[in-house]
Amino acid sequence: MKFSFKNDYSEGCHPQILESLLRNNLDQQAGYGEDDYSKKAKDLIKNNIEAQDADVYFVSGGTQANLIVISSILRPYQCVISAATGHILNNETGAIEATGHKILSIEKEDGKLFPSDIIPVLESHQNIPHQVMPKLVYVSNSTELGTIYTKKELEDLSAFCKANNLYLFMDGARLGHALTSEISDLELKDIAQLTDVFYLGGTKNGALLGEAIIVNNKILQEDFAFNIKQKGALLAKGRLLGIQFLELMQNDLYFELAKNANQQAMKIKNALSERGVQFLSDTYTNQIFPILDNQIIEVLSEKFEFYVWKKVDENLSAIRLITSWNTNNTAVEEFIKTFNGEL
């Protein structure tokens, strides 16, 4: 069997979650997220972000979270600003556009947006009312290229959005990996203070499924629950999500799993760097993008699964390697050994 570095969810979930699901299986609880597990999990999240007045909603996946948030808080004539690498632009089958909202994309090599990137977009959309109105800035942390925002960068972006009457929404599918990166100076409470909405991703970090949408802006909190139901995201057996986030948020399991994934990725990154390998982006999370000779990629693909991310030239391509919460030393060491054997 091949070792997989293809995505964050090659395995099921952390055993602690399975044990809790089994242990509490016959406990009768209210439906639709009104169960005790969901309530306790939401309280833990609020405590962690130090924002008791935030609203927390559990949904099944990242695309669903992005779709619900964006379609719910924008009016029909308003649009989204995103880096061209954004998940909503390339990997969600036009879900946002299908709700009637245009995405204005900005080419960014590192996948990160700064005020200087957004200013030209605002300036080019002044032909009112003939053009769509930019209203929401969508960012990911970590980004699709594995890069992360510093606290200063997010503070500047947040201040810019507030000054220009824009909402700031953070896709947190890999937020655990961003926050536990060895170079991160952000905390979860900072994310809550600096964004209008964000979500805490569970699917890519040890859960069977699930994301926790956190709505910080009081204006956007009003009637938000109706959108969850209308978009088919309100699980009748909401305990399935509540139990998972309760286990993840207790005793910092969520952050331990993300940190392990990052550390395993850095072992591969450091080993390749020592052999002179260049990378598509300089990352310190669980995604790395080494640029390798196509012949080496072909040999590696016999033992390992990964995406060939981008063709650099006729001989070189960048591949994407993702380490999951459960990636072990054996997989990492075998990859390094196989790579070294081909040089």
CATH of the domain at 283: 3.90.1150.10
How do 211-215 and 316-322 pair as beta strands? unpaired
CB 332 within 8 A of CB 267: yes
| 282 shares its domain with 209 | no
In this structure, is residue 8 part of a structural domain? no
Give residue 60's domain range.
Answer: 15-251
CATH of the domain at 103: 3.40.640.10
| 275 shares its domain with 173 | no
In this structure, is residue 5 part of a structural domain? no
CB count in 10 Å sphere of residue 63: 18
C-alpha 165 chain-centroid distance: 24
The pLDDT, as a whole number, for residue 115 is 98
Burial of 74 (0-12, 13-18, 19+ CB in 10 A): buried
CB count in 10 Å sphere of residue 270: 10
The pLDDT, as a whole number, for residue 9 is 87
**Domain limit, last residue, from 217, 251, 285:** 251
| 325 shares its domain with 286 | yes
| 148 shares its domain with 98 | yes
| 225 shares its domain with 103 | yes
The pLDDT, as a whole number, for residue 342 is 67
**Domain limit, last residue, from 191, 220, 251:** 251
**Domain limit, last residue, from 251, 282, 308:** 251
CB 176 within 8 A of CB 45: no
The pLDDT, as a whole number, for residue 343 is 57
| 147 shares its domain with 233 | yes
- Say which amino acid occupies 217: N
What is the pTM for the complete model shown?
Answer: 0.96
Tokens of 198: 């964000």
| 235 shares its domain with 89 | yes
In this structure, is residue 3 part of a structural domain? no
* Residue entry with tokens 């499924």: 209
CB 271 within 8 A of CB 336: yes
Distances from the Cα of 301 to the Cα of 49, 304, 321, angstroms? 41, 5, 12
Full pLDDT tens readout for the chain, 343 residues = 789 999 998 889 999 999 999 999 999 999 999 999 999 999 999 999 999 999 999 999 999 999 999 999 999 999 999 999 999 998 999 999 999 999 999 999 999 999 999 999 999 999 999 999 999 999 999 999 999 999 999 999 999 999 999 999 999 999 999 999 999 999 999 999 999 999 999 999 999 999 999 999 999 999 999 999 999 999 999 999 999 999 999 999 999 999 999 999 999 999 999 999 999 999 999 999 999 999 999 999 999 999 999 999 999 999 999 999 999 999 999 999 999 986 5
Q: At what angle do helices 239-249 and 253-274 cross, to 10 degrees?
A: 70
Number of domains in the chain: 2
